[in-house]
A and B are shown apart, each in its own frame.
Chain A
Amino acid sequence: MKLANRAKYYFRKPHNVILVALAISLAFLTLLPLVSLIRDTFIVHPSEIMTVRGAKVNDVTLFHWKKVFLDGAKSFKLFYEPLWNTLEVSLFSSILAIILGGTFAWLVTRTNMRFKSFISVVFIFPYIMPSWTLAMAWLNFFRNSLIGGAPGLFTAITGVQTPNWFAYGLFPTSVVLGLHYSPFAYILIGGILRNMDANLEEAALILKSSRAKIIARINLPIIMPAILSTFLLVFSSTMSAFAVPVFLGTPVRFQVLTTQLYRTLNGLNPGYGYIMAVVMIVIGLSILAVNQWYLGKRKSFVTVTGKSSNFSLIRLKKFQIPVSALALLFVIAIAILPLVTFVIESFIMAPGNYSFSNLTTQFWVGPGREDIGGGEPGILLNKYLYMAFWNSLKLSGIVALVVGTIGGLAGYAIVRGRGTKLSSAVNNLAFFPYLLPSMAFGAIYLSMFAKPIGFIPSLYGTFFLLVLIGSVKYLPFASRAGINAMLQLSGEIEEAAVIMGIPWRKRITRILFPIQKSSFLSGYLLPFISCMRELALFVLLITPANRVLATLLLQYNEKGWNQYANGINLLIIIVVLLINLAINKITGASIDKGIGS
């Protein structure tokens, strides 16, 4: 009886109900698949009957593990080389992202550089745009004819043939990913710099320190934890990047883990792919562990933040004009120029010929022609495009609604239940999908939902599965946004309403949500934008009936229909930027309020 009473009291608090519901469903949606994935690395799959001699489907075997790790030169080609490539790409791109993002963050928050508002808006663009945007732009500019095909704009203008290492593989992949994630570093480091009390620097200045010494001895040590966190997050994000290595690596057979994962899962040896997914998850978890350990270790000197109300910006003096001009050119080059190349590329008839007479509107509004693109009509007349466009919008919209709402409630419940074991468990569970590389996560869901489990029918090929995986994958964004929003509100604000007998639903919708509207709305915006430009997560789960813009783009690219691909990409970017801008203007929610992948 006593127990029943206690349960009754416990569940009378709405946040406990939410916590329990979330704990159960998240365990089912994130932990169970993990178990299923590990099981998949040990069994024989239907397509592997021929390779694993004398085995039946679902037999337990160590075959995959041996092949991936212990088969000499074959393992090297299959696993170790892609692993090494992945680590190299992740390392270089993280360093590049931090240097670029950190420099821009410093310039914008601390100096009197000109055009700040323009630069800080445009610098974020590469992050809002799909990650392959810059990869395609790179190809548009620098592709060469050494491996066949037409050369890019750079060669057309200068006549200089770009070497392979510059056009494809490790170098451009690292640079492009570094550029794509530098806004991420910019947001994180800039946030710390903005909150870092400028008096700390002024105190050093008065005590006769040089500017360089202030950066080295004061700024850097204080933002070090942020830099490390950024490094680890960018590292794990680049590790799971798929589209960029596909675009820039495939021409020279530069393989990374994600591309290998795609090949093996779509090929004859899914067992290998599942093992690679496990490896990626292990790396992701170790990164989180390092981060936690480091943050825990430095507890004794937490950053003392304060408002920097009285702060005069560093005067760049004679460097002001050159620095501002350079920064301006840079953001234009990485954020605006790519769009120009998409426009150009989508309007030319024969690739590589940039003369005026070669311009055509065929790929936009032309009727299908037998000799071009397999008879597909121009993008704007293509019914597949409209279908994919509609699917993308529908998927992103539904995912955003689901995730934003659940994330907001999760934030509410986690903050209200703070200190309890359940609350921190739900907090970790809701963040867990962030650490699962998208491709690996897709692989897990593929493996788990390909067949019926209990009362749940096989979900493979359904739109519902896409919504489900999108919702779980982007929950970390929304739950972080929700937690941040709730942490800024004192509990008394809700308690004042409780005392007046206002029901829970009304407290949420009439009091808490309106006060932190922009933070909560960021929890809707981020998943929407991420979903619009997601490729790796969906690519394994998409069937022709429910393809989205991103997978359509990949298809056109695989077929080498460059003009269509450029045109579609332009469409995606325009939609994403417009929606971001609209939401930003209407609600004040913005992408830099949350975290991103």
Chain B
Amino acid sequence: MPKIVLENITKVFGKAAAVKNFSLVIEDGDFVTLLGPSGCGKTTTLRMIAGLETPSEGTIKIDEKRVFSSDDGIDISPDKRDVGFLFQNYALWPHMTVEQNIGFGLENLKWSKEKISARVKELLAMLKIEGYQKRYPAELSGGQQQRVAIARTLATGPKVLLMDEPLSNLDAKLRTEMRSELKRLHKETGATFVYVTHDQLEAMTLSTKVCLLREGELQQYEPPLAVYHEPANIFVADFVGSPTMNFLAGRGQNVNLDQVKIEADGLNMIFTPVSGSVSIQPRQEVMLGIRPEHIAIADQSSVQATIYSTLPSGMETILKLQVGNHILTSVVFGSKDYQLDSVANIRFTGDRCALFDKVSGKKLATGSLELIEE
């Protein structure tokens, strides 16, 4: 069964390297998202797996078979790699009807007419687009075009499905709907999915593993919740999660064996790692990362904040809190609203606050955080 292995892949366009020495193992049946801001090399990586782009260096294996190797001069063309590819703009052929679009790949496999029409029917039903088979793509809505594109890709039953931001051209409502359908498709086809997106929410909700890229380099490759709770560095912590994580820059020093005392422009805190200890230089520059859901409004606390703004949405309320010179974002679940400029007691909850080294950006530890008075 297909397992995809990328070894030391580098891709250079002109002088700029789009992907740098990148290695990745995608297990059979995984749903892996390549996530990152635009220009991070995720689409290039996907196209290199498909064979649409030629790596400058490295090796790619699909199903234990080398499809590309710069050392041995192997470069198998896309049509022989047995992959499906879903394009961002669907790439439906405008001069063919829906059924011709879906059947084209089967025609290339020399299927008989009857078998093709049976398979097309099956796919039309599966993607809920029966009745549109005689239409041209231009006569379909965006969502329907998307379904036709998926049907066309699935028609030949590829065991690897590569998808390049397939939902980015849909409106918000359709996108949510298609997300759950994609997850069903993954289950039903049993294929290996590799999915490119810049939408962290899509990556979080869909995938079994998230691969975060930045400027062509791998940042973290782990299941979504691990990426969320144990971000490898400041970039990952900042990219994943909405509203974004709060960051407080400050200086730290070890106290009481395993704790760290942090001063951040008027706020003083004690950080206790969950496990083990963390040792830092005295007055080392650090960055604290606190998820919005870990800042709570309490009945009593030693620290007070002013409500800077509130955004109640019914299910939760997003608050901006002014604490000293800092503005912190907090999420309060439930249907609550607050007076602007009123004063609230706040505290940090849970043991999943992250401590980063400010210079390297690397995570030092996760743990609980407590505000203290000087």
A interface with B by C-beta (< 8 Å): 197, 199-200, 202-209, 213, 217-218, 221-222, 224, 300-304, 306, 310, 312
Contacts and interface: CB of A to CB of B under 8 A. Distances in A.
Interface stretch (B19-27, B102-110, B213-221): B102-110
Nearest to B158: A206
Nearest to A303: B94
Given A205-B79, A207-B105, 11 more contacts: A202-B52, A204-B93, A204-B104, A205-B52, A205-B77, A205-B78, A206-B78, A208-B156, A222-B93, A301-B136, A306-B89
B87 A202 contact: yes
Interface of B: 43-44, 47, 50, 52-54, 77-80, 83-85, 87-89, 91-95, 104-105, 108-109, 136-139, 152, 156
A202 B91 contact: yes
Nearest to A306: B89
10 contacts: A202-B85, A206-B79, A207-B156, A208-B156, A222-B94, A224-B95, A301-B94, A301-B137, A304-B92, A310-B52
Given A199-B89, A206-B84, A306-B89, A222 B52 contact: no
Nearest to A201: B91
Given A197-B91, A207-B108, A207-B156, A312 B54 contact: yes
Nearest to B44: A310
A200 B137 CA distance: 13
A121 to B, nearest CB: 21
B52 A312 contact: yes
B137 A304 contact: yes
Contacts of A306: 89
Given A209-B79, A312-B54, A301 B95 contact: yes
B91 A200 contact: yes
B9 to A, nearest CB: 15
Contacts of A202: 52, 78, 85, 87, 91
Contact of B83 (A206, A221, A312): A206
Contacts of B152: 203, 207
Nearest to A205: B78
Contacts of B84: 206
Contacts of B104: 204, 207, 209, 217
A221 B92 CA distance: 13
B47 A222 contact: no
B139 A200 contact: no
Contacts of A206: 50, 52, 78-79, 83-85
In the A-B complex, the 9 residue pairs with the smallest Cβ-Cβ separation, listed nearest first, are A207-B105, A199-B91, A208-B79, A221-B95, A203-B91, A208-B108, A199-B87, A304-B94, A206-B85
A89 B78 CA distance: 44
Contact of B138 (A208, A222, A224, A300): A300
A208 B85 CA distance: 12
Nearest to B53: A312
Most buried by B among A200, A203, A300, A303: A203
Nearest to A307: B89
A569 to B, nearest CB: 42
B198 to A, nearest CB: 14
Most buried by A among B52, B80, B136, B156: B52
B108 A213 contact: yes
B136 A300 contact: yes
A124 B289 CA distance: 60
Contacts of B54: 312
Contacts of B109: 208
A47 B85 CA distance: 75
Contacts of A310: 43-44, 47, 52-53
B105 A208 contact: yes
Most buried by A among B80, B92, B93, B138: B93
Contacts of A222: 93-95
Nearest to B89: A306
Nearest to B109: A208
Nearest to A225: B95
Contacts of B91: 197, 199-200, 202-203
A302 B52 contact: no
A204 B101 CA distance: 10
Contacts of A218: 93
B52 to A, nearest CB: 5
Most buried by B among A205, A206, A304: A206
Contacts of A302: 94, 138
Given A206-B79, A312-B52, A200 B93 contact: yes
Most buried by A among B47, B80, B94, B152: B94
B213 to A, nearest CB: 16
Contacts of B87: 199, 202-203
A213 B107 CA distance: 11
A175 B248 CA distance: 75
Most buried by B among A213, A224, A312: A312
Contacts of B137: 301, 304
Contacts of B89: 197, 199, 306
B138 A301 contact: yes
A55 B93 CA distance: 66
Contacts of B156: 207-208
Contacts of B92: 200, 304
Contacts of B94: 222, 301-304
Nearest to A199: B91
A300 B83 contact: no
Nearest to B100: A217
A294 B259 CA distance: 79
A219 B302 CA distance: 71
Nearest to A220: B95
